[in-house]
Chain A
Amino acid sequence: MSSPPPSLPTGWQTVIGLEVHAQISSTSKLFSGATSKFSIEANEHVSFIDCALPGVLPSLNGSCVEKAILSAHALGGEVSRCSIFERKHYFYADLPQGYQISQLQEPLMRGGKVSIALEGESSREISIERLHIEQDAGKSLHDMLAGKTCVDLNRSGVALMEIVSEPMLHSGEEASAYVSKLRSILMAIGSCDGNMQEGSLRVDANVSVRAVGGRLGTRCEIKNLNSLRFLRQAIAYEAMRQYEIISSGGRVSQETRLFDSEKGVTRGMRTKEEAHDYRYFPDPDLPQVTLTSEYIEGLRAVLPELPDARIARLVGTHNLAAYTAGLLAEDKYLSDYFEELSSKVEGLSSKDVANWLLGELSSCQRERGVGLAGLVSDYGLSSSRAASLLSLIGLGKISARAGKEVLSKMLEDSDASPSSIVEALGLQQLGDREELLPLLEGLLASNSAQVSAYRSGKVAVFGWFVGQAMSLTKGRADPKVVNELLRELLSG
């Protein structure tokens, strides 16, 4: 664990607005027929349009617009009936047209909100300013050949949604919670695969600091953060950097910065004076996009259940804490699995099931380097199989500790049922009073000093007896029965 990032002194506040670039899940790019799939091989998915040969023209991929409208509905924003594509000009090796097709004046969506909940806090709504569609640029590779820059255009022309939040976030943790919530919403409706490693979701953070209640400070934009950890680190570093400048009497200058993830610092890239004049103007190759309200509303009707609705259900019917429900709802697969599992498990509360999923099962996934879906498909851990394991625990047939052992055997042999493993390993819980009584009597007899200590008021010794009993039975004893019997014997 790295040391916690330093934080601003009391009375100071970080103000953060985020621009999230989410790649729209679609088979082809925004304005060309080339596939938008991620590829390791450079320049595999490049059409004549993506590399801007002379005379070729963009033609809009309607399915990308549809996904963006679904996203707009999911974020509760207002979809524009008419939206316009504009050209944003700058020269760069990985921008083949010399401009990016984007939306400035008439974005596809205005307004909208995302609610976030930090651990132990109630949820809070973050307003969204706008969502617009644009095309991605290619990638410049500066370290592939010495002294040369190589250009990979696989990403050139891929459809993005840029989602801009209001500056309402106040810490890296909040920013991170906002992005993961947004990510879960987009994933739930299938408009973005949310894969931050492959660059399907990238974040630009506008960060400034101010004295609480004071005027907004000058902001710096940190570009291209591609993990939640980097987002938190970059914001924490940047806030401190700006605070130190101000508290030593300096002025923060508006600039674009990059985060160096190895050193954990942000670095200036270009100042405001060096900023481009993008010369936006409506793209004459693309007529205005006019949408009927029937079409827009028709898409609202096919929206799947959104994470907030699921969280509400998880909290309402399963009695989970908002934070726990939020963790489950981040991943639709996980929350579906949870609901199936808890409907099948006997003897455990939904809360216990959720904790098992988020705790024990998630460390199993980390150890094996697979996701939940991988455990299900490659290790045969269907929700029914997991349910029979949890029911053994819930009904007192085995102890929670034995459960861990059974789970590990279940994953080794995907055909073995939990009860057959329990039998084979002799892990059945000792819950029979008759069986446990002689054992406990022996324990008391050989520890008379502790017995008298308990009886003279040192009740804490009770726990020691329970521990001894569990250890004598190699954890198989039912703690409930052990507790009952010990209490009877000791009070006697």
Chain B
Amino acid sequence: MSDNELSLVEMYERLRLDKSDPQSLDPCELIERTLAVARSHVGANNGTNAFITLDEAGARQKAEESRKRFGQGGSSIRTLEGIPLAYKDMFCTNGVRTTAGSRMLDNFIPPYSAHVVELLEAAGTICIGKCNQDEFAMGSYSNSSFSGAVVSPLTNKQNPSEPLSAGGSSGGSAAAVAAGVVPAALGTDTGGSVRQPAAFTGCVGVKPTYGLCSRFGIVAYASSLDQAGVFARSVTDARLVLYEMFGHDARDMTSVARIEEEARSLDKVRANVKIGVIMPGEEYHESFPHLSAWQQQLDLQLEGLEGLSSSLVSASEGTRDSMLLDPYSGILEAYYIIAMAEASSNLARYDGVRYGYRSGSRSGSRSGSHSGSHSGSQGSSVSLHEMISSSRGEGFGAEVQRRILMGTHVLSSGYYEAIYRQAQKVRRLICEAYTLLFEHFDILISPVSPDNFATALTTDGKHNPLQYFQDFYTVPPSLAGLPCLSLPLGEDAETGLPFAAQLIGNYFQEDQLFDVAHGLEQHFQRAKQDEPSKMSQAR
């Protein structure tokens, strides 16, 4: 991470300084500098390959607008005026190519923007480009993109030449923030796709309560789980961006309005927040040595937390019997059944008929075509279904096809009851398990990933079933639709790679989640300043 890059809060303040002040920032200059850095992160073998597309013209135009507004002053300056951001390529951006990391949408230019993109634009932010990701957000290492794998900007001190994975599926957004290109970026989180790459790259990554961000205009993976999320280098920066993205949207029937009173109902206990720590099951420690290291690190970091005026309670007593800790409770299986079922359905629209990749077509694909009739087959020799099959066979990568096939299977006649319906039952039980836990605790803490820090990047395209296990800790709150945040927990002394904790809040308690995360963040920073030697004992 480039430490000298400005935080969003610093940008915010310096954009507002008088021009005569040497510290003052001009939005156009800021965008030019940002674009210059971003250019070294576009394309395979170029930096992190965090970006698929840069919108230089659009960004410059918006920066001009911001400069004008800063000149006018007063109420013309919008909340996040002039702040550069980047969006995962799942967010549709009007007039700017949106690929979802897939050959299928390689030339797709949407004629509309996602609701959250509209909100952020209305707040004055400037999108500089679209971030790389796993194809259709399916993956944990951002190595399945049609635009090549994302490489983490972090390195292992013990093996600096080995490229590391930025995590997935929102790895490009995480890398762009971690590399200091932008102060914050958007990702999507279905089962951990914001939290896990945040953990791998040492960023803060947050996803809100399901429904708070409209899904309109976000390429769908698994509708009942997908939520927009934010990467930033601090809790405060993440909060500033995420809160601009809330708001009811009539175009998404699962969208909910955030009720301020409800969000503040826990104010009374804010002074004495009860944090439950979900301890990793010991049965995992052998296969995942990272977990015992994580536990030590957490214990170390939470020392002296009394100063936070929170009461920390180990949830191990209260959660011992919870299914949330039982690796055999079927949570992960339920998640993948539901996610793949929905994915198989959501991706059915990519058939090569109206837009996107079409097999045999000379241009490969059509873009942004949304009206007018055009031919539905490539001539009499190819039937419609042959055209659809080969377009999907060539347009989708291996992991996407695997998930579509599995999803199709679990919804098939005879398997729906046996598999899909059972998964829905598990999902209901998970919600009940959280309800019980939140009777005792305000915030839950768990690892983000059972795996060992950021892992080495593999690009051989081989199927690694273990990747599904990456999601063990991030999936349960996703199934329940709870807000969660991935928070850096200090660095490992030997590798220099970050530890991370997942904070889980109750429904609509984003205020509390951010407050606690901010408190912990400050506590960790104080601890780091006070006792740098202590950190080396972590492993």
Interface residues of A (CB under 8 A from B): 42-43, 46, 48, 51-60, 87, 89, 91-93, 96-99, 140-141, 144-145, 147-152, 277, 279-281, 284-287
Contact = CB atoms under 8 A, between A and B. Distances in A.
A433 to B, nearest CB: 76
Contacts of A141: 373
Contacts of B348: 89, 91, 97-99
B292 interface: no
Nearest to B355: A53
A91 B353 CA distance: 10
B375 A281 contact: no
Given A93-B376, A99-B345, A99-B348, A55 B92 contact: yes
B345 A87 contact: yes
B218 to A, nearest CB: 5
The 6 A-B pairs of least Cβ separation, nearest first, read: A98-B348, A284-B223, A279-B411, A149-B376, A148-B375, A284-B224
B114 interface: yes
Contact of A57 (B252, B341, B379): B252
B354 interface: yes
Among A91, A99, A144, A287, max chain B CB count under 10 A is at A91
Interface of B: 90, 92, 98, 100, 105, 108, 110-112, 114, 215-220, 222-224, 250-254, 341-342, 344-345, 347-351, 353-355, 370-377, 379-380, 384-385, 388, 408, 411-413, 416, 420
Given A97-B348, A140-B376, A141-B373, A54 B223 contact: no
Nearest to B424: A282
A141 to B, nearest CB: 7
B253 A96 contact: no
B377 A54 contact: no
B345 A57 contact: no
Contacts of A98: 345, 347-349, 351
B1 to A, nearest CB: 31
Contacts of B408: 279
A364 B90 CA distance: 63
A148 B114 CA distance: 34
B370 A285 contact: no
Nearest to B349: A52
A145 B378 CA distance: 12
Given A46-B371, A87-B345, A287 B353 contact: no
A142 to B, nearest CB: 9
A89 B345 contact: yes
23 contacts: A43-B372, A51-B370, A53-B112, A53-B355, A55-B114, A55-B218, A57-B251, A59-B252, A60-B253, A89-B411, A93-B376, A144-B373, A150-B375, A151-B353, A277-B412, A279-B345, A279-B413, A279-B416, A280-B411, A280-B416, A281-B341, A285-B254, A286-B253
Contacts of B353: 93, 96, 151
Contacts of B385: 91
A54 B351 contact: no
- Which of B92, B222, B375 has its CB near the most chain A CB atoms (within 10 A)? B375
A46 B375 contact: no
A281 B345 contact: yes
A424 to B, nearest CB: 58
A151 B376 contact: yes
Contacts of A99: 345, 348
Contacts of A58: 253
B250 A150 contact: no
A307 B351 CA distance: 46
B268 to A, nearest CB: 31
A284 B349 CA distance: 16
B370 A92 contact: no
Contacts of A52: 349, 354
A59 B115 CA distance: 14
B253 A287 contact: yes
B253 A54 contact: no
Contacts of B344: 279
A55 B379 contact: no
A134 to B, nearest CB: 16
Given A54-B105, A93-B376, A281 B370 contact: no
Nearest to A279: B411
B373 A150 contact: yes
Contact of A287 (B216, B217, B254): B254
A333 B26 CA distance: 71
A285 B252 CA distance: 8
Contacts of A148: 375-377, 379
B411 to A, nearest CB: 4
Given A96-B354, A98-B349, A277-B413, A54 B376 contact: no
A98 B104 CA distance: 15
Contacts of A96: 349, 353-354
A55 B373 contact: no
Which of A46, A98, A144, A151 has the most B CB atoms < 10 Å from its CB? A98
A375 B374 CA distance: 43
A277 B412 CA distance: 7
A54 B373 contact: no
A46 B370 contact: yes
B416 to A, nearest CB: 7
Nearest to B384: A93
A364 B408 CA distance: 59
A54 B345 contact: no
Given A55-B219, A281-B420, 14 more contacts: A46-B370, A51-B354, A55-B215, A57-B252, A59-B250, A91-B348, A93-B376, A96-B354, A99-B345, A140-B376, A144-B373, A150-B376, A151-B376, A285-B254
Contacts of A53: 110-112, 355, 370
B254 A152 contact: no
Nearest to A97: B349
A192 to B, nearest CB: 25
Contact of A281 (B92, B222, B376, B411): B411
Contacts of B108: 54
Nearest to B113: A55
A285 B373 contact: no
A147 B380 contact: yes
B407 to A, nearest CB: 9
The listed residue with most B CB atoms (<10 A of its CB), out of A91, A147, A284, is: A284
Listed residue (A46, A59, A144, A152) with the most chain B CB atoms within 10 angstroms of its CB: A59
A336 to B, nearest CB: 39
